[in-house]
Structures are given as structure tokens and as C-alpha cells.
Amino acid sequence: MEIIHKHQLIKEYLIERIKNKELMPFDMIESENELADKFKVSRMTSRKVIDELVVLGFLYREHGRGTFVSDLPRFKDLQSFLCFTEEAALKGLAVENRIVEFYLDLPTPAIRNKLGINMNTKVWYIRRVRCVDNQTYAYEDAAYLSSVFKDCDEQILKGSIYHHLENALGINISFANQEIEAVVADKMTAELLEVSEGVPLLKISMVSYLKNGLPFEYTTTYYRSDRFKVSQSAFRSRSR
């Protein structure tokens, strides 16, 4: 228990220094030995904390030089099915959602195809800008089955939709299929993301499914490439 407690203390110490701007992007942090001495733990414990913060995107290592503060939050781990708010929370950051519009309507042909529904099935169209520390990070264009997201309103949309669905409505969200592509910002998206028209963006389209296999959400999100990056682990398989 003491080791776990010290592990968390070191983690919180480093995150707080980064959040309070005591450590800025590209600054070198204390070495594993220095952290071990400061918190009276083994070098292995301090190394595990640093490893974890590297995976979370707070830090990066340079061989032979040391460990440094990252300049780009790693807000999308493709192996984890977490919403934007949950990924930000893991890094101790708060999300603000700016609602562009939301309304209930019949599905477009594209939405019918993605969700496998007929033309009479109503969906919520939801468009939001996702911000962190008053900086725009992403523009989200989503459609949800109204039979699943039954009580959509402005207050809910200012928070986490997934948190509401799972905790208030008892919905069991299971998995998602994602497609990633590079695009350039059109006039509307550029204005919403506060960038110049034509700058590169990362576009991730996602169909999300309930535990029973029902597709209930189709979302396309446009991420600012200067404030966002994707991470994914890859494992080599030998050819035979």
C-alpha cells in the first residue's frame, strides 16, 4: 500500500508542476534517481511513474539525454474506447463544450447507412466545439438514436454525453469502429476551430455500439493538428 501511495504522490507531483506551468513544454524533469531520492522510493517505482506519464502523453524520453515535458497532449489512444472528456480527465484537464446547434430530425441517407436504420427513425443531430483551457481542440458533428438518447438537452450537452448515457440512463456502451483521415479545414470548420481555412486537420469518424450490438451513434470529429495527436501501440508479427 505504501508503494502505491508513493507512486501516486510522484505522479501528482509531476502533473501539478506541468499544470501550474512550473515545467513548460520541452523542459527536462528530474531524473529517476532524483525522484527516487526525493520520495524515498526505489528507482523502479519512479521509473514506472515516468513510464505511465509517457504513455499518457505528459512526457517523452530522449535516449541518452533524459525525460522532457511533451508539447502536445495525446488525446486519442486508438486502443482505448474513451470519450474526449474521459481522456482529458486522465490528464487532469477539464473540458468545456461549446454547443453550435442540436435538433431532432429524420436521418440523412448517410446516417441511415451508418446506423442501419430506416427513414422514419429520428436522431439527435449534435454539433459542439470541444475546448481545453479555453483553447479549441476539436469540432464534433454527431448523430444519436433518439430511442437511446431520450432526454437530450443543452445542459447535458455541456458535459459528457457518454457519462450521462451510462450513469443517468443505464446504457451499456461497448465498442466503436473508427476511420481516420487527413483533411483540410473548410470555411465553417476553420471558423469554429479558430484556424485558417485550408490548414490540415485530423478527421476521425466513429460508429459506436451498445453491448447488445446496436449501433446508436455516428460521429465525425475534426481535430486541430497543432494541439492533438493520435497514439497507438503496434506489435510485430513474424511472416511465415
Domain holding 143, by residue range, is 76-231
Q: Confirm whether 240 is domain-assigned.
A: no
What is the predicted pLDDT for the residue at 165? 96
Across the chain, which has 240 residues, the per-10-residue mean pLDDT values are 71 87 90 92 90 76 86 58 70 85 97 96 97 90 97 95 94 91 93 92 93 95 80 58
**What's the number of domains the chain is made of?**
2
What is the predicted pLDDT for the residue at 78? 56
Give the domain-ending residue among 45, 69, 93: 69
What is the predicted pLDDT for the residue at 1? 40
What is the predicted pLDDT for the residue at 77? 56
Is the domain of 158 the same as that of 89? yes
> Looking at residue 11, which CATH number applies to its domain?
1.10.10.10
Is the domain of 62 the same as that of 140? no
Task: Give tens-digit pLDDT for 181-229.
Answer: 889 999 999 999 999 999 889 899 999 999 999 999 999 999 988 777 6
Task: Give tens-digit pLDDT for 140-160.
Answer: 999 999 999 999 999 999 999
**How many angstroms separate the CA atoms of 15 and 23, rounded?**
9
Is the domain of 81 the same as that of 30? no
Residue 31's φ and ψ, nearest 5 degrees, are: -75, 170
Give the domain-ending residue among 69, 103, 123: 69
